[in-house]
Chains A and B, each alone.
Chain A
Amino acid sequence: MSKHVTQPDKHGHFGPYGGMYVPETLMAPLTELADQYAKARRDASFRKELAYYLRQFVGRPTPLYHAARLSKELGFTCYLKREDLCHTGAHKINNSLGQVLLARRMGKKRIIAETGAGQHGVATATVSAMFGLECVIYMGKVDMERQALNVSRMRRLGATVVAVTAGQQTLKEAISEAMRDWVGNVASTHYIIGSALGAHPYPMMVRDFQSVIGREARAQVLKAAGRLPNWLIACVGGGSNAIGLFHPFLKDAKVRMIGVEAGGEGIRAGKHAARFAQGKLGILQGTKTFVLQDQHGQIMLTHSVSAGLDYAAVGPEHSQLRDLGRVEYGYATDVQAMEGVNALCRLEGILPALETAHSVGYLLHHRDRFRKKDLVIINLSGRGDKDVQQMEAWDAERGGAR
C-alpha cells in the first residue's frame, strides 16, 4: 500500500492521531463493533445488500455534473459531485445505511445518533424507519432552532428527538449525550456516529461507507473528462464527506485536495470552527486530534453559520493527511459561505447546504491559485432546503442578496 493511503492500526491510530479514548464501559462494545464490521466488510452478502439499498433506496450513483456557468465564472473547470441528490438530501445516508445494516447483523433493536445540522439525524431516522427500528436522535437545542425543518422531518419519520441543553447546545454536546445513552444501553443499542470522528472503529468505518462518493467520482470523471481531476475540494466539519471523496484518490499522487473548515466570523477565539487554523493536539470524545481548546485543556466555544461544521475537533484521519502534506486545509468565513450559496443558486440552479457552500465560497475567494486548464471536483455534500429560513434571516440582518 502506498504511504499516502492512510489506514489505522488495530486500535484505530492514524499515526499519532485517533485511538480509543473512551470510558471502559464502551471498550467491549467498540471492540465488538470493530470485529463485526471487519467481518461484514469481507462478507459478499453484506456488500451486496449495501449496494442494493444504495442503488434502490438512496438513488446512487449520484451524478458528477459539469457546472458550466460556475466554471466560466471561476475561470477553470468545475464538476459537482451531487450528493445533494441522495435520498434525504445529503451524503449522510451513505453512512447511516451502512451502519444500520451492520446494527441489524449485530441484532441491535435500537438506534441512537447525534446530529448537528440535522442531516445525519434525518438520514438515521429514515433508515431506522425503513427497517422498523426504534430511533432516538440527540440534538443541541440551538441547532434544533436553526434547523427546525429537519427536526420536523425526524419526528415525522418516527424518531424521538431529544433536545440537549448542556454547554453551547450544539453538536459537541449532542455527541456527549448520545455517548452517555450508549454507555447505559450498550446491549440493545447501536450508536450511529454521523461523521469520521469519535473512537475507533468509527473514523475508519464512516470513511469506508462514505468512500462510495470518491469511488464513483473517480470513475465518472475518467469517463466524462478522460482524465483525473487536478483538485478535489470538500467542506470539513468532522470530515466525513471530505474523507469519502478524498480517500479513493489518495493513491493518485497528482490529484491535490483541499478541505475547507468553518472560518465563522474570522479566526478569533470562540468565533470559528477552523481547527487547523487555531487548534492544538488534544483528546475529545474518544479521539486524539486537532481540537480548539484553551491553555487548560478546556474545549473552546465554536461558531459557524452552518450547524454541521460547528464542532471543536476534526476527524483524526484529516490530521494525519495534513501532517503527510497530502491534503491542505483552508477555511471559508460565514460571509464567504453565503456568497457560495448565492453563486451556486444563480449560476447553476442548485441550492446547497450552508456546510457545502463553504467549498464554493473558498473557490470564489481563492480562484487565482487555480489554472485555466485545471479540473476541480467539488463535493456538493448536501442541499440547502433546511437552511432557507436561516438564509432569509441572514439577508434580513445584512440587507442581503436580493
Chain B
Amino acid sequence: MTRIDKRFAALKKEGKKGFVAYVTAGDPSLDDTMDIVLRLVDVGVDVVELGIPFSDPLADGRVNQESANRALDSGTTPVGVLDMIARLRTQTDIPIMCYTYLNPYHAVGYAKMIKRTAEAGVDGLLFLDMPVEESRELNVLMKANGINNITLVTPTSPEHRIKSIVEHASGFVYCVSRAGVTGMQKTLSEGAADLVRLTRKHVNLPVALGFGVSTPELAAASARAADAVVVGSAIVNQFHQAGTSPKGRKAAAAWVGQMVNAVKEI
C-alpha cells in the first residue's frame, strides 16, 4: 500500500472527495517547490503531483510549458527533483506522485530511475507519452518498486482501450475531462461524468477527474462526478503570479485552500 492507496482508502471511509494539486518541480527553483508543497499540505490537499520538467512537453498547454521552462532554466534535473522529494520526506508524509515524459527516465535508464524514484519516497508515477502499448517494461518496474502506475483515460479512449489501460493501473485512474492539452477552462465538459462511469465499470480503483479545472465551482463539480479532482495549470499560474514573497505564497495557497474546501464540502 502506498501513501496514495492509504489516503484514498481513508477518504472513502470518511465519505470525502480527494484533491490532487499539481505544480512543476523547480519552478522557479527546487527550494521554492519545497516551500510550495508544504503550503499545499497545510491547506489540506490530499495528493501532491510534481511535474518533472521536460524540454518538449507536447501534452501540456502554455501555462505548464512556461512553468517547465522556468524550472529547466533554474537548472532543475530529474535526479535533482527526486533528491528534493527525499528532503521533503523528512518534513511531510503527504502522498506524492510525479508527472513527466519518458525521455528523462529513458536517458538515465528505466530500472535505475524507477529505483531512485521509489527510494526518494515517491508513491506514484504518470508518464504522459506512455500509452499502454509501450508500457510493459515500466509496468513491471513500477510494480516491483512499489510505485503506483497512474494511467490516463481520455474522452477519445474507446471502451476496449479503457479496459486494457486500467488493467495495469494502481493508486487511482486519472480521467481527462476533455480532449486537449493541460490548461484552464470554465465549465466541466459534457461526457466527463460518462467517462468516469465507463472507467468504473472496468476497475475498482478511485477515479480522479482533471484537465482544465480552474475554479472552486468546477473543482466541486468534477469531484462530485468522480472520487477526486486534479488541479494543475490553475495552481501553477496562481503561484507564478504570486511571486516568491511569503505574502504572495500565502495568498496563492489560500486560493488553493478555497478550492480544497469546495471539494471537501461535498
Contacts and interface: CB of A to CB of B under 8 A. Distances in A.
Q: Sort A-B residue pairs by CB-CB distance and give the 10 closest, nearest first.
A: A297-B107, A184-B180, A297-B104, A23-B59, A297-B103, A298-B55, A25-B154, A176-B58, A28-B156, A24-B152
Interface string B68-86: 0100100001110000000
A21 B129 contact: yes
Interface string A161-189: 00000110000110110011001101100
B102 interface: yes
A191 B161 CA distance: 22
A24 B181 contact: no
Given A23-B131, A25-B176, A27-B157, 19 more contacts: A20-B131, A22-B58, A24-B131, A24-B151, A25-B152, A25-B154, A25-B155, A25-B180, A183-B179, A183-B180, A184-B181, A283-B102, A283-B103, A283-B106, A284-B103, A291-B103, A294-B107, A297-B106, A299-B55
A166 B65 contact: yes
A296 B179 contact: no
Contact of B165 (A24, A186, A283, A294): A24
Contacts of A173: 56
B156 A296 contact: no
A11 B131 CA distance: 11
Given A28-B156, A179-B58, A298-B55, A184 B179 contact: yes
Contact of B78 (A23, A25, A176, A297): A297
A269 to B, nearest CB: 14
Contacts of B251: none
Given A283-B129, A285-B56, A298-B54, A25 B104 contact: no
Contacts of B72: 298
B93 interface: no
A356 interface: no
Contacts of B156: 24-29, 186
Contacts of A285: 56, 58
Interface residues of A, number: 39
B80 to A, nearest CB: 9
A15 interface: no
Interface string A1-44: 00000000001000000011111111111000000000000000
A104 to B, nearest CB: 21
Interface of B: 54-59, 61, 65, 69, 72, 77-79, 101-108, 128-131, 133-134, 151-158, 161, 165, 176, 179-181
Interface string A245-278: 0000000000000000000000000000000000
Contacts of A299: 55-56, 103
A21 B78 CA distance: 20
A187 B108 CA distance: 37
Contact of A284 (B56, B69, B155): B56
A27 B152 CA distance: 11
Contact of B129 (A22, A29, A172): A22
A294 B78 CA distance: 12
A28 B69 CA distance: 30
Contacts of B105: 297
18 contacts: A19-B134, A21-B134, A24-B151, A24-B157, A25-B152, A25-B154, A27-B156, A172-B56, A184-B181, A282-B103, A283-B101, A293-B103, A295-B108, A296-B78, A297-B104, A297-B105, A298-B55, A298-B103
Most buried by B among A23, A186, A293: A23
A284 B129 CA distance: 9
Contacts of B65: 166
A28 B132 CA distance: 12
Given A28-B156, A180-B61, A297-B107, A21 B102 contact: yes
Contacts of B108: 295-297
A280 interface: yes
Contacts of A280: 107
A27 to B, nearest CB: 5
Contacts of A297: 54, 78, 103-108
Given A183-B181, A184-B180, A184-B181, A23 B103 contact: no
Contacts of B56: 167, 172-173, 176, 284-285, 299
Interface string A112-136: 0000000000000000000000000
A296 B131 CA distance: 22
Nearest to B152: A24
A168 to B, nearest CB: 10
A286 B108 CA distance: 19
Given A180-B181, A183-B180, A297-B105, A167 B55 contact: yes
A204 to B, nearest CB: 16
A312 B59 CA distance: 18
B154 A24 contact: yes
A28 B134 contact: no
Nearest to A200: B133
Contacts of B57: 176
Contacts of B102: 21, 283
Nearest to A168: B55
Contacts of A26: 156
B129 A286 contact: yes
B230 to A, nearest CB: 15
Nearest to B178: A184
A116 B156 CA distance: 29
B26 to A, nearest CB: 12
